[in-house]
């Protein structure tokens, strides 16, 4: 979104009046990307250009950003290290680089990761409180998936999910046995099921199916709590910028779902 220069400077809180803003611009004390701008109506994208007053970079007040991405296959949910970059890996964070400020980009985190081959709903945010409200184990926010398996599923698989399934997890380099919390599995067709879990151990859904002898050939996250991918009509690889209202509606809906 473009702002006029005088609007941007007023929003920074650095100046006490509109008159002071105008005089700073007219006197040549304000630069945009290193160039002096004396036009108070000059328009620019504040997420892509740096503004300075007397050499001091000015920023708009911090606003939390939250995005809902329909993650495609073959993209990782972490910052790339040099080895991954050399292998040509792609990071979900690069999707957002052109749409946020450098400071916002550095603060972005994914709210619970999806592995490289998993697709679907992924939240990426600068909001640490939101991360806590969703990802903390004690919150038990429900995550819903559509799972496609190589072999047909049966009613016994649903019963095992409801009981909790023993899986192997790597903890500090050691392999430990872990019993998952009860989960829900609803068979849609012989090889496709809807799964709901309230925890998020690494590759948990795939490990649960593997423990029952099933190979997962496709895994898509459909929803986190009250946020449903289908409601936003986002194509694979695209994202929407969630408003504070969207985020709060999601949190309140999820909390309401958990009330007795």
Would you please indicate which residues are annotated as catalytic (active-site) residues?
Answer: 115
Residue 119 contacts residue 237 (beta carbons within 8 Å) = no
Sorted by sequence, the CB contacts under 8 Å of residue 202 that are 6+ apart come out as 169, 170
Distance CA 176, CA 167 (A): 8
- DSSP lists the bridge partners of residue 168 as 177
Task: Show Cβ contacts of residue 251 under 8 Å, excluding neighbours closer than 6 positions.
Answer: 130, 133, 225, 226
Cα–Cα distance for residue pair 251/207, rounded to 1 Å: 28
The first and second tokens of residue 61, run together, are: 């007040």
DSSP type of residue 76: B
For residue 227, report the phi and psi dihedrals to the nearest 5 degrees: -95, 115
């Amino acid at each position: 979104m473009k702002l006029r220069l005088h609007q941007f400077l007023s929003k920074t809180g650095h100046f006490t009046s509109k008159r002071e803003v105008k005089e700073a611009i007219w006197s040549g004390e304000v630069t945009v990307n290193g160039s002096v701008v004396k036009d108070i109506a000059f328009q620019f994208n504040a997420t892509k250009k740096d503004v300075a007053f007397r050499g001091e970079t000015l920023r708009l007040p911090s606003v939390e950003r939250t995005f809902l991405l329909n993650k495609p296959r073959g993209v990782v949910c972490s910052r790339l290290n040099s080895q991954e970059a050399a292998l040509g890996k792609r990071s979900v964070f690069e999707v957002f680089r052109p749409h946020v400020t450098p400071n916002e980009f550095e603060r972005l985190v994914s709210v619970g990761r999806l592995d490289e081959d998993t697709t679907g709903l992924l939240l990426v945010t600068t909001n640490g409180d939101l991360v806590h409200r969703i990802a903390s184990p004690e919150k038990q926010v429900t995550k819903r998936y559509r799972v496609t398996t190589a072999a047909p599923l049966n009613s016994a698989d649903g019963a095992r999910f409801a009981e909790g399934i023993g899986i192997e997890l790597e903890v500090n380099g050691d392999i430990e046995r872990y019993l998952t919390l009860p989960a829900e599995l609803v068979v849609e067709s012989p090889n496709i099921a809807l799964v709901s879990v309230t925890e998020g151990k690494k590759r948990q859904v795939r490990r649960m199916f593997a423990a029952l002898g099933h190979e997962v050939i496709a895994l898509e996250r459909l929803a986190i709590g009250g946020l449903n991918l289908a409601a936003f009509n986002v194509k694979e690889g695209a994202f929407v910028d969630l408003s504070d209202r969207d985020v709060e509606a999601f949190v309140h809906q999820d909390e309401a779902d958990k009330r007795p």
